Amino acid sequence: MKALYIASTGMSAQERNVEVISNNIANMRTPGFKRQRAEFEDLLYQQISRAGSQTSDQGTLVPAGLEIGSGVRTVATPRVMSQGSVNPTERELDVAIRGEGFFMVDLPDGRTAYTRDGSFERNQDGTLVNSSGYPISGGITVPGDAKGISISPDGTVEAFIGTDENAVQLGQLQLARFVNKSGLESMGDNLFLETGASGAAQIGVPNADSNGSLLQNYLEMANVNSVTEIADLIAAQRAYEMNARVISGADQMMQATSQLR
């Protein structure tokens, strides 16, 4: 009986849906995290009677066909790249992006990764790095005797060095934009990688050319709405239960048929 296999695809799809929702909830406090959603599509159909087929010599046509579907599958888990809430941290190296763009991070293998997580630190050499210790693109180095570090909305990094009365410019943070942000590949560590689907990175200065502006002493948090996620979780659970009942009902029908024999 096909109903058993059709309902099993529904249970599998909702199981994957719950996994996506659980990952969203687990990352509610992850800086720069962008929630995902599961997208589904129906499977192949068995054409028993095709719509528009001729039924007589006079040219009469079947107005509606007879098609039996094969179930459902999870086809994609795109990220929702909306702006997350911006919270104050009182740390001078915490930077939030208001608007479009990603910070660029230099990976050890030579690739460039992209992130919305602006919780920066200084390594042993004073180089600006992310939480995993990867350098921020641009090679910005903050001397050990620097004080009063400021990061302007356009990404200019300045600080007072030693006894100097005038601030010294240390570098410029840049942002990258993509035509299709949902096409970025997640690699963990709050980082994304460019893919053919995302398009090439368009690099520019913050607060210019449609790029977002920077806000020092703040962090962008995850764009996960707890109420929405719980509602989606309940809906996924109910859909899973209904598919399980279909399997149970199909099994009872098969038992009744076998008893008749």
Q: Is the pLDDT of residue 261 over 70?
A: no
pTM: 0.86
Helices (H), 213-260: 226-260
- Across the range 131-147, mean pLDDT stands at 91
Residue 110 to residue 207: CA distance in whole angstroms: 27
CA separation for the pair 31, 89 (Å, rounded):
12
The residue type of 180 is: N
Over residues 152-161, mean pLDDT: 94
pLDDT, tens digit, for every residue of 217-229? Answer: 999 999 999 999 9
Whether residue 184 contacts residue 200, with contact meaning beta carbons closer than 8 Å, is answered with no
In contact, 217 and 94? CB cutoff 8 Å: yes
- Read off the tokens for 243: 């598919």
Task: Report pLDDT digits (tens) over 170-213.
Answer: 999 999 999 999 999 999 999 999 999 999 999 999 998 889 99
- Assign 63 to helix, strand or coil: coil
Phi, psi of 232 (to 5 degrees): -65, -35
Pairwise pLDDT comparison (162 vs 247), residue with the higher score: 247
